[in-house]
Structure 1
Amino acid sequence: MAQKPSIPKGTRDFSPSEVNKRNYIFDVVKKHFQTYGFQPIETPSFENSETLMGKYGDEGDRLIFKILNSGDFLNKVNDDLYATKDSSAITSRISEKALRYDLTVPFARYVVMHQNEIDFPFKRYQIQPVWRADRPQKGRFREFFQCDADVVGSDSLLQEVELVQLYDAVFTDLKLEGVTVKLNNRKILAGIAEVIGERDKLIDFTVALDKLDKIGIDGVSKEMREKGISDTAIEKAAPLFALSGSNLEQLSVLSDLLKDSEEGSKGVGELRFIIATIEELGLQSANLKIDVTLARGLNYYTGAIFEVAAPEGVSMGSIGGGGRYDDLTGIFGLKDVSGVGISFGLDRIYLVLEELGLFPETIDQSLQVLCVNFGEKEALTSLKLVNRLRKAGVKCDLYPSSAKMQKQMKFANNRNVPYVVLIGEQELDSNSFVVKDMVKGGQQTYSLDAPELFYKGL
Structure 2
Amino acid sequence: MAKKPGIPKGTRDFTPEEVNKRNYIIETIRGQFQLYGFQPIETPSFENSETLLGKYGDEGDRLIFRILNSGDFLRKAGAEAIENRDSNSLAAQISEKALRYDLTVPFARYVVMHQNEIDLPFKRYQIQPVWRADRPQKGRFREFYQCDADVVGSDSLWQEVEFVKLYDAVFNELNLKGVSIKINNRKVLAGLAEIIGASDKLIDFTVALDKLDKIGEEGVKNEMLEKGIHQDAIDRIQPLFAFQGSNEERLDQLEAMLKDSVEGMKGVEELRFIISRVAGLGTKASSLEVDVTLARGLNYYTGAIFEVAAPEGVAMGSIGGGGRYDDLTGIFGLKGVSGVGISFGLDRIYLVLEELGLFPESVVEQTKVLIINFGDEEAYYGMKLLESLREQGIKAELYPDAAKMKKQMNYANKRNVPYVILAGTQEMNDGTYTLKNMRTGTQETVKMDAIPYLG
TM surpasses 0.5? yes
> Aligned ranges for residues 356-367 of structure 1 at < 5 Å?
356-367=356-367
Structure 1 pair 46–287 and aligned structure 2 pair: CA distance change class (3 A) = same
> Aligned ranges for residues 54-453 of structure 1 at < 5 Å?
54-448=54-448, 450-451=449-450, 453=451
Q: Which residue of 2 aligns with 1:51?
A: 51
Q: Which residue of 1 aligns with 2:19?
A: 19
Note the C-alpha offset of 1:140. Answer: 0.8
Q: Percent identity?
A: 69
CA distance in 1, matches of 2:257, 2:332: 36
Q: Structure 2: which amino acid aligns with 1:278?
A: V
Note the C-alpha offset of 1:228. Answer: 2.7
> Secondary structure at 1:156's aligned position in 2?
coil
CA distance in 1, matches of 2:91, 2:454: 63
CA distance in 2, matches of 1:61, 1:211: 17
Paired residues, what number?
A: 455
User: For the Cα contact (< 8 Å) 1:186–1:298, is it kept in 2?
Assistant: no
Note the C-alpha offset of 1:216. Answer: 4.5
CA distance in 1, matches of 2:299, 2:217: 25
User: For the Cα contact (< 8 Å) 1:247–1:290, is it kept in 2?
Assistant: yes
User: What is the TM-score of this pair, normalised by structure 1?
Assistant: 0.97
CA distance in 2, matches of 1:432, 1:293: 69
CA distance in 1, matches of 2:239, 2:352: 34
What 5-or-longer segments of structure 2 have no aligned partner? none
Structure 1 pair 80–200 and aligned structure 2 pair: CA distance change class (3 A) = closer
Note the C-alpha offset of 1:218. Answer: 4.2
User: For the Cα contact (< 8 Å) 1:212–1:241, is it kept in 2?
Assistant: no
Deviation readout 1:97-126 (Å, 9 max, x if unpaired): 111111000000000000000011000000
Deviation readout 1:431-454 (Å, 9 max, x if unpaired): 111110011221112112x14x42
CA distance in 2, matches of 1:287, 1:388: 48
Note the C-alpha offset of 1:229. Answer: 2.4
Note the C-alpha offset of 1:27. Answer: 0.5
CA distance in 1, matches of 2:143, 2:269: 39
My pick for the range that moved more, 418-427 or 77-86, is 77-86
Q: Structure 2: which amino acid aligns with 1:336?
A: G
User: What is the TM-score of this pair, normalised by structure 2?
Assistant: 0.98
Deviation readout 1:166-224 (Å, 9 max, x if unpaired): 11010111111101000000000000111122211222323333344455544444443
> Secondary structure at 2:110's aligned position in 1?
helix
User: For the Cα contact (< 8 Å) 1:191–1:263, is it kept in 2?
Assistant: yes
What 5-or-longer segments of structure 1 have no aligned partner? none
**RMSD in angstroms over aligned alpha carbons?**
1.3
CA distance in 2, matches of 1:90, 1:210: 31
Structure 1 pair 443–267 and aligned structure 2 pair: CA distance change class (3 A) = same
User: For the Cα contact (< 8 Å) 2:419–2:435, is it kept in 1?
Assistant: yes
My pick for the range that moved more, 361-370 or 175-184, is 361-370
> Secondary structure at 2:151's aligned position in 1?
strand
> Secondary structure at 2:308's aligned position in 1?
strand
CA distance in 1, matches of 2:227, 2:83: 34
User: For the Cα contact (< 8 Å) 2:63–2:133, is it kept in 1?
Assistant: yes
